[in-house]
DNA sequence: CATATGTCCTGAGAGC
DNA sequence: TGCTCTCAGGACATAT
């Protein structure tokens, strides 16, 4: 997602377009007229990832924060269709002529924040260390006294930023930890396994450019799907045999209103 | 304070 | 065929 829009750096936002669509959802903050007025004419000085968000830094210290959430795509080119295209940035003076924000379900958000708003809304109180950078010590310090179930805690972006529901299941399977294990019951050796598993899973998923699921909404571009879905060991494999132990049957449970998939044989714990 | 639950959104698929 | 119901999961508001 970020890779795709790196070519926007140095570009001046000539136009902010909101295509007319029949579907609902999708939020501009502030409301679109002001969003457009404040973004138009500004130059993009940097593009970076912040947890699950893409941040376009603008001159004058403003930030455009793009949150794709479930079915949003931030693309350097054509979207999968026009019926869910939510925003287009037309650029001048960059390698990229435009950025498209496409979002099927409309849970996505585009925000234009002043430096102080950005610090208040996305500061360390709201967003923990990045999952690819957090140390084992820091991970333990943040979770080891919590009574929450490890699967639920991994999804809390205040604890660490970047782990979503799909990867939480995959990480716990790799680490051989039961998803309902309370954080406070995790041993030092298990924390080490969890930390290594998290880095392995996330790095590989990034390398393969994410997972395109059955609905096909997530893609690298209009033409290209992600590559990680074929690596899934547990996610959406309920009823099928565990690929590691061959004995357990992958089981689906619900935790905090989200599906969790795990192997009851090779993932220990309650 | 920590933890848990409700809410939003669209489209696919199941069941009758 | 056409209806209702369930599921999918990000972040945030509200409740306990």
pLDDT at residue number A94: 95
**Rounded distance, CA A154 to CA A163, Å?**
7
pLDDT at A245 over 80: yes
From the CA of A139, how many Å to the C1' of C7?
32
Which nucleotide lies at the shortest CA–C1' distance from A106?
B9
Q: Which nucleotides of B are covered by protein (CB under 7 A)?
A: 2-13
Q: How confident is the model at residue A217 (pLDDT cuts 50, 70, 90)?
A: confident
Q: What is the mean pLDDT of residues A221-248?
A: 92
Which nucleotide lies at the shortest CA–C1' distance from A26?
B9
Among all protein residues, pick the one whose CA is nearest to the C1' atom of B4. Answer: A256
pLDDT at residue number A268: 77
Rounded percentage of chain A residues whose pLDDT exceeds 90: 90
From the CA of A59, how many Å to the C1' of B12?
43
Secondary structure (DSSP) of chain A = -HHHHGGGTT-EEEEEE----SS---EEES-HHHHHHHHTTPBEEEEEEETTEEEEEEGGG-EEEEE-TTTEEEESS--S-STTEEEEEEEESSS-SEEEEEESS---EEEEE-HHHHHHHHSTTT--SBTTT--HHHHHHHHTT--SBHHHHHT-TTTSBS--HHHHHHHHHHHTB-TT-BGGG--HHHHHHHHHHHHHHHHHHHHTT----TT----SSSS---SGGGG-SSTT-TTSBPTTTSSSBPEEEEETTEEEEE-TTTSB--
Rounded percentage of chain A residues whose pLDDT exceeds 70: 99
Q: What is the mean pLDDT of residues A57-86?
A: 93
- Mean pLDDT in chain A? 94
Which nucleotide lies at the shortest CA–C1' distance from A105?
B10
Which nucleotide lies at the shortest CA–C1' distance from A83?
B10
pLDDT at A209 over 90: no
Q: Which nucleotides of C are covered by protein (CB under 7 A)?
A: 7-12
From the CA of A86, how many Å to the C1' of C9?
20
pLDDT at residue number A2: 75
**Rounded distance, CA A241 to CA A29, Å?**
45
Q: What is the mean pLDDT of residues A6-27?
A: 95
Q: What is the mean pLDDT of residues A213-238?
A: 90
From the CA of A241, how many Å to the C1' of C14?
40
Among all protein residues, pick the one whose CA is nearest to the C1' atom of B2. Answer: A146
Q: CB under 7 Å from any atom of strand B: which residues?
A: A 23-25, 70, 83-84, 104-107, 146-149, 152, 214-215, 256-257
What radius of gyration do chain A's Cα atoms show? 20
**Rounded distance, CA A238 to CA A262, Å?**
8
Task: List the structure tokens of A54.
Answer: 């893409």
**Rounded distance, CA A111 to CA A109, Å?**
6
Q: What is the mean pLDDT of residues A72-87?
A: 93
Of residues A195 and A214, more confidence is placed in A195
pLDDT at residue number A270: 56
Q: Which residues contact A178 (CB under 8 A, 6 or more apart)?
A: A150, A172, A262, A267, A268, A269, A270
Q: How confident is the model at residue A82 (pLDDT cuts 50, 70, 90)?
A: very high
Cα dihedral A85, A223, A89, A36 in deg (nearest 10):
20
* Paired strand residues for A100: A75, A88
From the CA of A238, how many Å to the C1' of B11?
22
From the CA of A105, how many Å to the C1' of C4?
20
Which nucleotide lies at the shortest CA–C1' distance from A156?
C11
Residue in A51, A53, A56 with CA at minimum distance from that of residue A35: A56
């Amino acid at each position: 997602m970020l890779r795709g829009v790196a070519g926007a750096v140095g570009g001046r936002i000539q136009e902010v377009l909101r295509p007319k669509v029949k579907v609902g959802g999708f939020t501009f903050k502030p409301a679109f007229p002001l969003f457009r007025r404040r973004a138009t004419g500004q130059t993009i000085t940097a593009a970076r990832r912040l947890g699950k968000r893409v941040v376009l830094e603008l001159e004058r210290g403003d930030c455009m924060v793009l949150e794709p959430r479930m079915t949003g795509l931030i693309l350097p080119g054509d979207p999968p269709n026009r019926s869910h295209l939510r925003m287009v940035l037309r650029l001048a003076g960059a390698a990229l002529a435009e950025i498209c924000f496409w979002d099927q379900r409309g849970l996505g958000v585009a925000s234009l924040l002043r430096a102080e708003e950005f610090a208040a809304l996305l500061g360390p109180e709201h967003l923990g260390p990045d999952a690819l950078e957090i140390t084992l010590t820091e991970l333990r310090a943040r979770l080891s006294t919590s009574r929450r179930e490890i699967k639920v805690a991994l999804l809390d972006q205040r604890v660490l930023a970047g782990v979503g529901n799909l990867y939480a299941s995959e990480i716990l399977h790799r680490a051989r930890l039961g998803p309902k294990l309370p954080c406070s019951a995790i041993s030092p050796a298990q924390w080490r396994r969890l930390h290594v598993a998290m880095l392995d899973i996330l790095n590989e998923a990034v390398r393969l450019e994410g997972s395109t699921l059955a609905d096909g909404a997530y893609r690298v571009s209009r033409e290209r799907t992600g590559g990680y879905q074929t690596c899934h060991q547990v996610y959406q494999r309920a009823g099928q045999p565990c690929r590691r132990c061959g004995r357990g049957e992958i089981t689906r449970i619900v935790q905090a209103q989200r599906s969790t998939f795990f192997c009851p044989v090779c993932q220990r714990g309650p």
